[in-house]
Structure 1
Amino acid sequence: MSEAIKAQPISDKIVVIGGGTGQSVILGGLRKYDTDLTAIITVADDGGSSGTLRDYLKMVPPGDIRNVMATLSDAPQDFLDLFQYRFTDEASFLANHTIGNLMIAAMAEQYKDIFEAVQYLSKIMQVKGHIYPVVNEPLTLHARFTDGTCLSGEAEITQAHKKITNIWVENAAGEAPEATAEVVNSILAADMVVLGPGSLYTSILPNISVPNIAAALRATTAKIVYISNIMTQKGETDDFSDGDHLRVINQQIGREVVDAMIMNSGVVPEGYIDWQRWNEISHQVKSDPEEVKKQGATPVLADLVELRDDGAFHNATKVAELLQMIASDNTIKNLKD
């Protein structure tokens, strides 16, 4: 960890962009502070319960929205347990669906607008902060691989286990999507924007591939922080260092915009990971702080490993503390200042 960083009150407005479990973990750490939180969530997921509801109802996939909503909710725990309840395989057509996914689907149909539906349900759920789907329509993720082939769909791309050269997103009409004014303005008004952690190509890049999101990240005066993954993803980021992750993000945005990068210095014990259960991960991300510096970002290193469930995860409390410190560190300058 940088010795120059000293703990001060956290930024007033923090926007966390991503998807998957990583985003919920970080938001869970940040919600303990007195700050204005906004979660911008990918809508390119097409697997599991989310994918089924997306296909049948032609709606934004609700899974990541549901998890973030549960994380930021002040509702009673009994209600949250019900909200997160997943029907078993024996439940026929309800098998593997969660109550929360079905609630979001019902409200999206009622309101005919996923953004408004999520805002209303957030009030019911007593959400501390703001939850914004990155766009108001489901997106399809496309990837081109190093062997020249292309695939569409997050689940297909992940299961291919092939090295990606570039990705892009399209709406149902095959056009580039556009984020709403609320989403763009939250980035422009933020004190800090946090990217990750999460699958680089299927959780983070689908958000910043939306053209006016990338433009907002180039224009905002907020400090932009990227939380590097602890583990690489099989077939996608094999052999990637921290610097490689950062390079891909900056290329997608179209400029070196990341001001600080949180990097794990802890070691995952050999033999700890259950490779069958966590079959998408490969090995620890290589640490390369010098390459991070070359790309204009300040490397912030700490042991962030939390070992549980036979896997390696970010310690939410430690990451939130680092974000607090970065926010108040005047030696970390916004690249656009």
Structure 2
Amino acid sequence: MSIGLFRQVVRNLGSSDGTSSSQGGRYSSFRRLFKWLSPGIFVKRWLLTIYIGVLMTILGLAIWLKLTPIFWLFQTVDRAIEFLAKVIPNYLSGPMVLGCGLFLIFWGHSRSLGEISKVLRPDGGQTLLDMLWNNRRLNRGPKIVAIGGGTGLSTLLRGLKLYSANLTAIVTVADDGGSSGRLRRDFGVLPPGDIRNCIAALADEEKLLTELFQYRFEAGDGLMGHSFGNLFLTAMSEITGDLERAVVASSKVLAIRGRVLPATLTDVTLWARLADGRIIQGESSIGEADGQIVEIGCTPEHPPALPAAIAAIQEADYIIMGPGSLYTSVISNLLVPEIAAAIAARNVPRIYVCNIMTQPGETTGYTVADHIESVDRACGQKLFDAVLVQKNPPSAGCLQNYAEENSYPVLLDRDDVKQLGRSIFSVNVMEEDTTTRYLRHNSRRLAKALIHFYRRAQESSSHRSIKVATVARNIKSA
């Protein structure tokens, strides 16, 4: 059995959950055994090193003591084994002793590793083996750069962190409303709201941290309306000197999986020119302007990109844009020219996650092709090769609820999208809240679909490389 096939077996065992309750214990033990045997955990080699060290220690003592005590010890053991062989045949006594030895080895290691697991995870959520296995699997994941803002990006990250630890979120810093806008005006810091959401989404203890970071003070002079997460990041910015260092320090303190980076450290303000000639200033005002956007920009005009963000794009295996508000969450990042240029220069899978519903006042009446054209027009170049769209339509009750707010499904105009040179990846990633009748992307389904697209793109790239190499060899041989 090849290593790749063995890993596939272990992956299937790790993802299977269809065992019955009577077989659960045996199956769990069997699965753990396969995980231990799988290469790449980097534990078995060190256990073997310990055994070799023990044998060498015994041998060293034997040589140092001129074999005298060891000789008599071995002689005593030899006599005991010889006596045992006379009483019990060797074909029975040998396997019995061997079995006892192996049992003691595995039992001792199981108990010792179990005690270590209790220290590392007092809640008993994962065994040490599961922690090692997940850590190795996530560290081998692709280098993914996700670009956006708002709740869409945090939803995406919440799912992607289950597939890779090599995540970088590049977040817009143009927010000027709510708590972020107040902190921006009062302290002169970059708006922390979207970054706060992404940090919470990437944390291991996501539920508790999200509740803490999203907690809003309901009383107190100056505190009312502020979220704890925004105040935390603002304080860290004051202590460390800027938002980038604040995010890095916060990420270490909170042990998040991946990185969160602002697109720029420049204090930018979005503006939009509408079809009726109006020019709207400010991110929060653009969505409320109730007009068709024909041009969007920022002040200052060409803000410098954060160097770490450019480096992440240049090293990325996979680049994802969206979901989120088209102009104020996605395109606002791409108004940093260096970021758009770095994305355009990468020959890796690049995909845009289109919104499920139109956004009143920002994308009213937009189709999928309209979303793509807006990105191309704002950046002046083609930045992605494929678009992910929702496959199944929402329920009638949900559609009626959105229609009251002048919001409708984003229609897929296949011919127009193909004319724009984009492939279409249609999949069901929608989740409907039966109580509120609002839609959102399901983080797990969205991440699974995006990882599937990436693997399929990698396979296609490998096949193309093989064909090119074969043609080159044929030409050379001819």
Calculate the TM-score normalised by the size of structure 1.
0.90
CA gap 1:149/1:80 in 2 versus in 1, 3 angstroms: closer
Amino acid aligned to 1:194: I
Distance 2:399 2:234 in 1: 35
Candidates 98, 102, 112, aligned match of 2:227: 98
1:265 aligns with 2:391: yes
1:317 aligns with 2:447: no
Distance 1:306 1:273 in 2: 13
**Higher-RCO chain (CA-CA 8 Å, sequence separation at least 6):** 1
Candidates 291, 294, 305, aligned match of 1:165: 294
CA gap 1:207/1:158 in 2 versus in 1, 3 angstroms: same
CA gap 1:307/1:205 in 2 versus in 1, 3 angstroms: same
Q: Is the 8 A contact 1:193 1:223 kept in 2?
A: yes
Moved more, 46-55 or 30-39: 30-39
1:138 aligns with 2:267: yes
SS in 2 for 1:50: helix
CA gap 1:332/1:54 in 2 versus in 1, 3 angstroms: farther
Amino acid aligned to 1:310: R
| Corresponding residue number in structure 2 for 1:66 | 196
Distance 2:205 2:429 in 1: 29
| 1:4-15 superposed matches below 5 A | 12-15=142-145
Alpha-carbon offset, residue 332 of structure 1: 6.3
CA gap 1:240/1:277 in 2 versus in 1, 3 angstroms: closer
Q: Is the 8 A contact 1:273 1:311 kept in 2?
A: no
Moved more, 284-293 or 240-249: 284-293
Amino acid aligned to 1:195: M
Alpha-carbon offset, residue 299 of structure 1: 0.2
Q: Is the 8 A contact 2:203 2:209 kept in 1?
A: no
**Unmatched tracts of structure 2, length 5 or more:** 1-11, 13-136, 466-478
| Corresponding residue number in structure 1 for 2:315 | 189
| Corresponding residue number in structure 2 for 1:127 | 256
Q: Is the 8 A contact 2:323 2:355 kept in 1?
A: yes
Q: Deviations over 1:272-299 (max 9, x none)?
A: 26858995x6111011222222222210
1:328 aligns with 2:455: yes
CA gap 1:277/1:75 in 2 versus in 1, 3 angstroms: farther
CA gap 1:17/1:79 in 2 versus in 1, 3 angstroms: closer
Q: Is the 8 A contact 1:44 1:139 kept in 2?
A: yes
Distance 1:81 1:213 in 2: 32
Distance 2:251 2:162 in 1: 18
Q: Deviations over 1:70-108 (max 9, x none)?
A: 0001247545432321112x3332111111100100111
Amino acid aligned to 1:208: L
| Corresponding residue number in structure 2 for 1:288 | 413
CA gap 1:317/1:77 in 2 versus in 1, 3 angstroms: closer
Q: Is the 8 A contact 2:275 2:292 kept in 1?
A: yes
Distance 2:387 2:197 in 1: 25
Candidates 236, 242, 245, aligned match of 2:368: 242
Greater C-alpha radius of gyration? 2
Amino acid aligned to 1:305: M
Q: Is the 8 A contact 1:139 1:169 kept in 2?
A: yes
Amino acid aligned to 1:24: S
Distance 1:48 1:277 in 2: 26
CA gap 1:78/1:198 in 2 versus in 1, 3 angstroms: closer
Q: Is the 8 A contact 2:262 2:306 kept in 1?
A: no
Amino acid aligned to 2:350: I
Moved more, 106-115 or 10-19: 10-19
Q: Is the 8 A contact 2:389 2:424 kept in 1?
A: yes
Alpha-carbon offset, residue 21 of structure 1: 0.4
Alpha-carbon offset, residue 252 of structure 1: 2.1
Structure holding more strand per residue: 1
1:43 aligns with 2:140: no
Distance 1:41 1:140 in 2: 15
Distance 2:363 2:213 in 1: 34
Amino acid aligned to 1:256: K
Q: Is the 8 A contact 2:173 2:264 kept in 1?
A: yes
| Corresponding residue number in structure 2 for 1:3 | none
| Corresponding residue number in structure 2 for 1:53 | 183
Q: Is the 8 A contact 1:224 1:260 kept in 2?
A: yes
1:87 aligns with 2:213: no
Distance 1:277 1:293 in 2: 29
Candidates 329, 336, 342, aligned match of 1:210: 336
Distance 2:266 2:403 in 1: 32
Q: Is the 8 A contact 1:232 1:284 kept in 2?
A: yes
The alignment yields a C-alpha RMSD, in angstroms, of 2.4
State the percentage of identical aligned residues.
38
Q: Is the 8 A contact 2:145 2:316 kept in 1?
A: yes
Structure holding more helix per residue: 2
CA gap 1:79/1:316 in 2 versus in 1, 3 angstroms: closer
